[in-house]
Every structure is written in structure tokens, then in C-alpha cells.
Amino acid sequence: MNWTSTKILIIALVCGIVDVVFEQIYTTSNGLSSFILFTLFGVCISVVFAELCSSEKKHKVLSTDLDTILDNLPALVFKKDNKNTLIKVNKYFADHHNMSKEEMEGVDIFDLYPHNVAEAYLADDFTVIKGDKPKLCIEEKWPVNGETRWLSTSKMPIKENGTITGVIGVALDITERKKAEQALEEYNKALEASYVELANKNEELEEFAFAASHDLQEPLRKMSSFVILLEDSLKDRIDDTERRYLNYIVDGSYRMGAMIKDILLLSSVSVAEVDKEECDMREIVYAAMTTFDDKLQDTGVKIRVGELPTIMGYKSRLIQLFINLLSNSLKYRTEGQILEIQIGAIKQEKWKFFVKDNGIGFDPKYSNQIFGVFKRLHSHKKYPGSGIGLVISEKVVKQHEGEIYAESELGKGSTFWFTLGE
């Protein structure tokens, strides 16, 4: 090997190390590994240039050493002339073609690969030669051993005495990376399709719940009405036990009617409003309070409303949110004690609101259960209701990119905290 070829192979070695380094960095998330690879790369560059600057007498020894290094490099290294003939390859290249290095020297690319593939390689070579500058990281198909793999190839022109005589290249097998990219792309497409399908199913379910709930109300009304008429018509002909049974039917139909109305409300809340608008949260709270005007006056409830911000939101949904939370406080107040409710907000990354009362409270271990559909901590007889109000509250908060949770202790009241996006 002459000194010019040796220098070319040194350059090929450097290119190979660059490609290996960047391929390793691409496939690893370990910062220390990347640091070590860059350090090794720097050492190799220093050694190469030190050798280039040394006496030409060393080139024979260096040539042998470089051949050894190139043959152990996990990349395909090749040198071609202007006639598309292989002049030199490393062992990795030859092994992948089931040939020896000597057998590959002098082989025409068109005898090695299909015509369309060889033409593509040749076109890249001409681009490098004509432009007199390297072409890096070319992703190309590589038919070998009966299968098609992928290479990331970098090529640069060879100059001897100022004349371009061919190209030298280094290629990395990136088949596994391409497979991973393809698998990720297919997974993302499947995930997107699943999301669309799930959204459609949810919409259909909400429409069904709305229609079913609406259609169920009429027969329930008829049932309770006819039971009342039946009781009136029988009058003294039924005893107290039979009358109690009829009352159970009427009470059950009323409860079922209330649950259906709540399901209808939940279904309507599930459908997002079109546009958000500026909402003065103090006005929102006062609008919610008007729902309970009579009850507030009769029970002497004290409500303190602190400074509240103006945010972008769905106005009617936010009013419903405070209606539900106020209703919760009113329902679970402590008998014989004036109910006090405090409403306020704290500025954090998002506005954090709270509704605090001095009611009966609940065991903290149930703090997650209370947001479940139809989940109740108390009997219906003592505290009537469907238990769906907090479910609706959570849904409204999530529609505003927020979270809601409760803090409580038995006999010491409850505080509902929730965030709302601006």
C-alpha cells in the first residue's frame, strides 16, 4: 500500500469512527456512554493527525496497523475508482458478501448488485466527484444475502496529485434502527386510529345515554302517577303494610327519575362547548348562589367569597361546578350548627380554587371514592341524592385542564380544591 492510499484509509477510519460515534449516540440515552464515545473520537483524531505529520518512513507499519483497525471496524469501508470498480474493501464489507477481500478487489458494482441499485450508488459517486465534496449520511437500500437491509453511507472524493480518481466510503448497517422507526410509525398510526375510534364510541355512548335517559322518564312518571291513583281508589280497602309497599314504589320511581335527570345532566356536560369566554369567577359564584336563595335565607348559611380571578372558560359549566359544590356543603351540614362556607383562590402555575365548609366531613380514606359514579358514603334516607354531582364537577374541571381533590376529617368539615387553566 502506498502512502497516498494509507492517508486515504486514515481518512476512511476517521469517517468510520464519526459514523459509529453518531450511530451510538443516536441509539443510546446514556449520557456517560456518549461522553466516552466522544472522548475516544477525540483521541483517534489526535493519533491520526500525529501520524500524518510524522515521517513517511513509518507508513508501512502504519498501513498494516490501519488494515487491522479497518478490518475490525463495525462498518463497511470501501474504495472505488471512477469506473465504479472496487479497489479496496475491509473485512466487514467482504464478509457480508460472502467473499474474501482479495476476491472483491476489481469487482464492478454492477456485477455485485441489481442494476437499479448499482445505478443509484453510481449517481451518488458522480455527485461526490463532480461537486468535489463529501456526501454524508445517505440512507440507502442494500440488497445482500437474499434480503434488503438499510445503510447510512458517507462518501468523499479521492484526490491524487490534484486529480479526483474515485471515492472512498464508510457505511453503517442501520436496518434495526429503520425497523424500530417503522414500528414506531405504525404504532403511532394505530394509536391515532384507536383514539379516533374511542372518541367515536364515547360520542355514541353519550348520545345513547341521553336518548335512553330521556325516553325512560315518561314511563316512570306514568308508573308513579298510576300508583298514586291506585292508592286513592283503594283508600280504606288496603292496610298499612300494603300502603307502605305502594309508597315504596312511588319513592323508588321518584329516585329513579332523579337519577335519570342526573344522567342527562352528565351527558350534556360530557359534550364540550364550542368556545371559551372570559369568566369573572366572582360573578360565576354569585350566579351559582342564586340557585339556593331560599335555602340560604331559611338556614342562615354564611358564605364568604374572597378575591377571585377572571379566567377563560365555559361559563355555564363553571356555574354548574359551583352549584354542585355548594349543594354538597348544604347537604352535609352539621345539625344544630350554622353552616359556614368559604370560597377563594390561590395563584400558582394555574389558579387553585377552594370551597371550604364546616360540615360533617368524611373519612379521608374515601377521598377518591366520592368522585365515582353513584358512589355514596351515606344512606339515601338521611341524605337524598344520586351521588353524581361530584362526578360532574370532576368532568367540568378536567374540561378546563385542571384537577380536583378533597381534604376532609370527620366532624371538621371538607375542603374541595381544584385547578383551572387560564
Mean pLDDT calculated for residue range 336-355: 90
Measured in degrees and rounded to the nearest 5, phi and psi for residue 146 equal: 80, 10
- pLDDT at 413 > cutoff 60: yes
The segment with the largest mean pLDDT, out of 19-23, 246-250, 254-258, is 246-250
Q: Is 394 exposed, middle or buried (0-12, 13-18, 19+ CB in 10 A)?
A: buried
CA distance 7 to 13: 10
- pLDDT at 168 > cutoff 70: yes
- pLDDT at 401 > cutoff 60: yes
| Domains (range + CATH), the chain | 3-173 (3.30.450.20), 197-269 (1.10.287), 272-422 (3.30.565.10)
Regarding pTM above 0.85, the answer is no
Q: What is the pLDDT of residue 54?
A: 45
CB neighbourhood size of 46 (10 A): 10
Using DSSP, state whether 227 is helix, strand or coil.
helix
**For 16-25, 256-265, 314-323, 342-351, which range has the lowest pLDDT when averaged over its residues?**
16-25
Mean pLDDT calculated for residue range 136-142: 76
CA distance 104 to 96: 11
**For 166-170, 171-175, 247-251, 270-274, which range has the lowest pLDDT when averaged over its residues?**
270-274
The 10s digit of each residue's pLDDT in 30-82 is 433 433 443 344 334 334 434 444 444 455 555 666 778 778 888 888 898 88
| pLDDT bucket at 418, cuts 50 / 70 / 90 | very high
